[in-house]
Structure 1
Amino acid sequence: MIPIPHPLLSLKSPPKTLFAQGDLSLLQAPKKIAIVGTRKPNPYTKLLTHNLSELIAKSGGVVVSGGALGVDIIAHLGAMPRTIMFSPSSLDSPYPKTNASIIKQIYEKALALSEYENNPSPKPYHFLERNRLVIALSDIVIIPQADLGSGSMESAKIALSLNKPIYVLPHRLGESEGTNSLLQDKKAQAIYNLQEWIKEHFGTLFCPQDDEILSFCYNPVGFEVAYQKFGDKLYEYEVEGKIKIENGRIYVC
C-alpha cells in the first residue's frame, strides 16, 4: 500500500487505498499523459498510438493507461518502461489474462497500481472506477479512437469534468465517431503532426536515431512524396523492418 498521489485526491470519490507494483519514481514524472481508447483499433490507430507513446516516453513523459486490449496495451508497450497502468482487478490477478505477459513486464519494468486488495474478477463498474484514476493522475488525455457510447467516451466526460485537455487523432467520416464528435463539439483538439505535438508539450523534437528518413516518415506520409526525397533507400528500410509500406503510405515500425 502506498500514499494516495495528490492528483487523485481531487476526485469526488478518491481511492481509500492504493496498491503498487513496480517503479514508484514514475509517479514523480513532471508530465503524465493518459492514452485510452477502443479495444479494436484500426491499423492507422495502432501505428500512431505506438509511435506517439514512444515519443512521449523518449521525451521524458510517462504514459498512463488501463491495461485493456487494443489502444491501452499498445500505449503501454510503446512507452515501456515509462508507463503506469491502473488495473480494474487486484494486482495478484492480472486483467485481462490475454495481456498477462505484458502486464508482468509492467510489474517488472514500469508501474502498476490498483485500489483493490482482493478483486480477481472485475465487474463492469470496476472499469469505470479504474478509468477515473487514469484520467485524474494525468495532465493531458489522448483518445486515439473511440466509438459513441464507449468506455473511452465516459473517460472523456471525466476529463472534461476535471478540466483536463483532450486530444484525438483525426479520422475519416464514419470511423471513430466518438472522437469525431468530440472534435465537432470543440471538446477536443486534433493531433495532426506527432513531432510538432511533442515539441509543443515537451519542448523537444525527438528524431528517431537521428535518422533523416525515419524522422521524415514518423508521421505517416505518402509513398510517392517520400520516394521523391529518398528513392530506393526506402525499400532497404522496409527490408530491414524499419518502415512499413502499406496502401500507398509509409509507417515507422
Structure 2
Amino acid sequence: MADADPLLHDAADRLRLIRTPGVGPVTYRQLIRRFGTAAAALSSLPDLARRGGGRSGAPPDPRTVAQEVDRVAALGARHLFIDSPDYPRLLAELDDAPPVLTMRGVLPAADARIVAIVGARNASAAACRFARGLAHDLAAEGAIVVSGLARGIDTAAHMGAGAATIAVIAGGIDVAYPPENAALQERIATDALLIAEMPPGIEPRARHFPYRNRIIAGLAHGTVVVEAAPKSGSLITARLANEAGREVMAVPGSPLDPRAQGCNLLIREGATLVQNAADVLEQIRPLDSRLVRSPTWGFEPQPPADADDQARRGIADLLGPVPVAVDELIRQSGIAPAVVQMVLLELELAGRLERHAGGRVSIVT
C-alpha cells in the first residue's frame, strides 16, 4: 500500500512544531528556515535546547495533532498555514505573524480594504452607536471591518458591518466568549469570517488577548479607536498597528469622560482624528503597488549559523529581565546577526528567553 500523502505528513509535522512548548511564531520561522522541514526541525529541538542550557518542551503526540485536525474539520473550519498563498498578506508582514490560523468562513479578496475598529468594553451608548454607524458606512463603501468580538465597541462594530466583518477571538474556534456573543460569533462564522490562533477547546486567558490584538492590527490597513481608557487593550492594538506601519486613527471625546482619555491621548501623540467613514477611507486609500512591501519570510533552508560558547556567553551577559531590541544585542555584541539569532533560538527553546512585541527579548529569571 502506498504511503499517505507526504503533504499531509508535512502539515501534521508543522502543526506539531507550532504546538510545541517554547516554539513561538518567531522561533517557528527560524527553525523552518534553518532546517527546511518541520520534521527536521522537530528532531533538532533537544540538541538546540541543550546548547541553550535547558531542555526543550516535548512536541505533542502525533495522535493529539490528528485529533485537533479532526476536531477542526468537524467544526467546519480549517487550518491556514503562513506559507499558504491564501494567508492574509498584510498579516504575513508581521515578524510574529501566527504560523497557523484556524478559520471558519471565507477570506476577503486580497485587495480588500480592511479597517480595525476597537474600543472600550464598558463603552458609552453614544460611542457604541457611533461605532455601529461607522462600521455600517465603511461596509457600504466596500471595506471590511475587523474587531475582537468583545463587549462594547467590538460588538457594535461587528453588528454594524453585517457580513462585511472579521472576528478574531482569543480562545479556540469553538469557544464563545463572552457567552452573550455566542449567537453573533456563530453568525460571523457562517456569513463572514471567524479567526482563532489558539487550538480548539482553549478558553481565553488574559495573556491571550494581546496575541489576538496583534492579529487584529496585522490584518488591517488602519485601526480606529473609539473610546479607550489609558493602558487599555485597545491602545495596545493601536500601538501594534503603529509598529507595523499601519494607520492609527482615533475618535475624539470629551475630556470629562475617562473613557475618552485614551483616544485623546492618541490624537495628541499623532494619531489621525476621524469623525466619519470618509475620514477613515481617506487614510487607507490604496498605495502605489510599487511601494507595497511583500512578505520576506520565505521558508527556503539557509546556511547554518552555529554559535560557539564564547558567543553564547557574550549574548547571555547582555541579556537581562528588561526587554532589549535584538538589533541592539547585535550592535553591542559585534556578533553576526545569524549567530545572535541562533543563540536566542537556543535560549528560547531551553525556556530561558522571552520574546516581546517590537522585536525585543529578555532573559527569564
**Same structural fold, with TM-score higher than 0.5 when normalized by the shorter chain:** yes
Residue 112 of structure 1, CA deviation: 0.3
Letter in 2 for 1:92: D
Q: Which residue of 1 aligns with 2:331?
A: none
The one of 168, 191, 207 aligned to 1:109: 191
Correspondence 1:70 to 2:152: yes
Residue 119 of structure 2 aligns to a residue whose secondary structure is coil
Q: Which residue of 2 aligns with 1:145?
A: 227
Does structure 2 conserve the Cα–Cα contact (< 8 Å) formed by 1:143 and 1:169? yes
Who is 2:243 aligned against? 161
8 Å Cα contact 2:171-2:205 kept in structure 1? no
Q: Distance in 2 between matches of 1:17 and 1:40?
A: 32
1:128 paired with 2:242, answer no
The reply to whether residue 20 of structure 1 matches residue 103 of structure 2 is yes
Q: Distance in 1 between matches of 2:109 and 2:173?
A: 17
Structure 1 residue 6 displacement after superposition: 2.2
User: Over alpha carbons, which structure has the higher Rg?
Assistant: 2
CA contact (8 A) 2:251 2:274 kept: yes
**2: CA distance between counterparts of 1:185 and 1:41?**
22
The residue aligned with 2:262 is 178
- Structure 1 unaligned segments of length 5 or more: list them: 204-253
Q: CA deviation at 1:28?
A: 2.9
Residue of 28, 53, 62 corresponding to 2:135: 53
SS in 1 for 2:145: strand
Question: Is the contact between residue 29 and residue 61 of structure 1 (CA under 8 Å) also seen in structure 2?
Answer: no
Alignment of 1:210-221 (within 5 A): none
CA displacement, residues 36-66 of structure 1 (integer Å, 9 cap, x when unaligned): 1100111221111011100110100000111
Distance in 1, Cα, partners of 2:159 & 2:278: 22
Tell me the residue number matched to 2:301: none
Q: For residue 7 of structure 1, what is the aligned residue in structure 2?
A: 90
Task: Mark the CA change 1:149 to 1:16 in structure 2 (over 3 Å): closer, same or farther.
Answer: same
User: Structure 2: which 5+ runs fail to align?
Assistant: 1-78, 286-365
The Cα shift of 1:132 comes to 0.1
User: For residues 135 and 195 of structure 1, do their structure 2 counterparts lie closer, same or farther at Cα, with a shift above 3 Å needed?
Assistant: closer
Distance 1:113 1:160 in 2: 22
Query: CA–CA distance in 1 between the matches of 2:188 and 2:225?
Result: 21
User: Deviation per CA, 1:80-103, whole angstroms, max 9, x where unpaired?
Assistant: 100001111111112221210111
- Tell me which residue corresponds to 1:32: 114
Residues of 1 paired with 2:112 and 2:232: CA distance? 30
RMSD over aligned Cα, in angstroms?
1.7
Q: Structure 1 CA distance, aligned partners of 2:223 and 2:127?
A: 16
Residue 10 of structure 1 and its aligned partner are, at CA, apart by 2.0
Judge conservation of contact 2:89–2:110 (CA < 8 Å) in 1: no
1:109 to partner: Cα distance? 0.8
Q: Is the 8 A contact 2:164 2:192 kept in 1?
A: yes
Report how far residue 201 of structure 1 moved.
5.4
Q: Secondary structure at the match of 2:218?
A: helix
Could you state the TM-score of these two structures normalised by the residue count of structure 2? 0.52
- Counterpart Cα distance in 1 of 2:227 and 2:181: 20
CA distance in 2 between counterparts of 1:198 and 1:125 reads 30
How far did 1:27 drift? 4.8
TM (norm. structure 1) is 0.74
Task: For residue 120 of structure 1, report the CA deviation from its aligned partner.
Answer: 2.7
- Matched position secondary structure for 2:100: coil
**Counterpart of 2:38?**
none
For 1:68 and 1:61, how far apart are their aligned partners in 2?
21
Q: Percent identity, aligned pairs only? A: 28
The answer as to 2:171 corresponding to 1:82 is no
